[in-house]
Amino acid sequence: MRWLNICAALSGALALAALAGRHARPDIELSTLMLAAIAQLSAAAAGLAIANRSGRLNAIAGAVILAGAFIFSGEIYFGAYTGNHSLIMLAPVGGTLMILGWIVLAFANPADT
């Protein structure tokens, strides 16, 4: 699942870039960025681990976890860096997707073919 490996690695890079960007904007609350980065880095690590598995449920779980992290963390980054919180309703959607992805992973066979 090369595509999952690529998406997970880019997700981790985005999380670190969002944290590093705070150096240019020290006015942004660090704890806000940390929440988003922890969620996204955790999802990235899960995606990298899942990329070494095979099977449809594993692919679905990895994609849903990463998509949820992108939505959840992306909304937090967007709000923190722009001050525009009009998309705040997306954070619970992203969080729910991450939870659903983990539930799907619970039922996926690690050696599924």
pLDDT digit string (tens) for 51-77?
A: 999 999 999 999 999 999 999 999 999
Residue 22, amino acid: R
With 0.85 as the threshold, say if the pTM is over it: yes
Locate 25 and state its tokens. Answer: 């904007």
Residues 30 and 35: their CA atoms lie apart, in Å, by 9
Determine the pLDDT at residue 112: 62
CA neighbor of 66 nearest in space, from 110, 103, 101, 90? 101
Q: Is the dihedral angle over the CA atoms 15, 50, 3, 104 positive or is it negative? A: negative
Residues 12 and 25: their CA atoms lie apart, in Å, by 20
